[in-house]
Amino acid sequence: MLSYYQMTLLQQDWKKQHVYLVQYPRCRTLPNLSPWSFKLETWLRMAGIPFTNINNEFKHFSEKGQVPFIELNGQQIAESNIIIEALKKEFANEEMSPSSPNEQALARGFTALVEDHLSWYILLNTRAFRALLSLRSKLGFEFLLSDDGFGRHYGNGITKPFDDVLNKYVKESTPNLVQFIERVREK
């Protein structure tokens, strides 16, 4: 495996070919609020790669200052997309990647679409985010998601038409995506 970053490992007594996924503390309603941690953990489950979650306790970060990151075979790898590419090479499972260059380009395009644009929509529609909105003043974070900033339109139904259109489109036009989501839920 390539040496990406060298630093003190959190998991000193590591096992060969076992992934140690360092991410933020888990939530009651979701495995993780971070979409990048959630994506990486879901990918590891779907790929069948053995891994252990390590709570970063909000104080352990990669050399690049990022979370999530992994430790694998005594090496640290950061940034979720780089991690996935490194794991594909390390575990050499052909089923983890699209086979043709066109399919690979399409997969990267969808990844960029989801991560750069739809992730905010998904975040706005999670129960955890709704709970944060309702508790912000009780927690002393009135400034967070204030009426003059991010989240100012939340709760007034602005996303409802988009919800209906997106749900209808996904169910009617992408049955393979619906089947994939069901497989993810099962795992």
Q: Could you read off the pLDDT of 150-159 as tens digits, one per residue?
A: 444 444 444 4
Give residue 131's pLDDT band: very low, low, confident or very high (50, 70, 90).
low
Q: Is 111 exposed, middle or buried (0-12, 13-18, 19+ CB in 10 A)?
A: middle
Q: What is the mean pLDDT of residues 11-22?
A: 90
**Residue 173 CB: number of other CB atoms within 10 A?**
10
Inform me whether the pLDDT recorded for 2 exceeds 50: no
pLDDT digits (tens, 9 = 90+) for 69-84: 999 998 999 999 899 9
What pLDDT is stored for residue 50 in this prediction?
95
Structure tokens at 80: 């979720």
Query: Which of the four pLDDT bands, split at 50, 70 and 90, describes residue 126?
Result: low
150 or 40, which is more confident: 40
Q: Which helix (H) or strand (E) holds 47?
A: helix 35-47
Rounded mean pLDDT of the chain?
76
- Among the residue ranges 95-104, 150-159, 161-170, 176-185, the one predicted with the least confidence is 150-159
Given a cut of 90, is residue 46 above it in pLDDT?
no
Joined together, the tokens standing for residue 164 give 């209906």
User: 99-103, 136-140, 162-166: which range is least confident on average?
Assistant: 136-140
pTM above 0.85, yes or no: no
State which amino acid sits at residue 73: N
pLDDT at 128: 60
Q: How far separated are the first and last CA of the chain, in Å rounded? A: 28
How large a percentage of the chain has pLDDT more than 70?
Answer: 70
Give residue 19's pLDDT band: very low, low, confident or very high (50, 70, 90).
very high
Alpha helix (H) residue ranges in 55-159: 80-91, 101-113, 119-124, 127-135
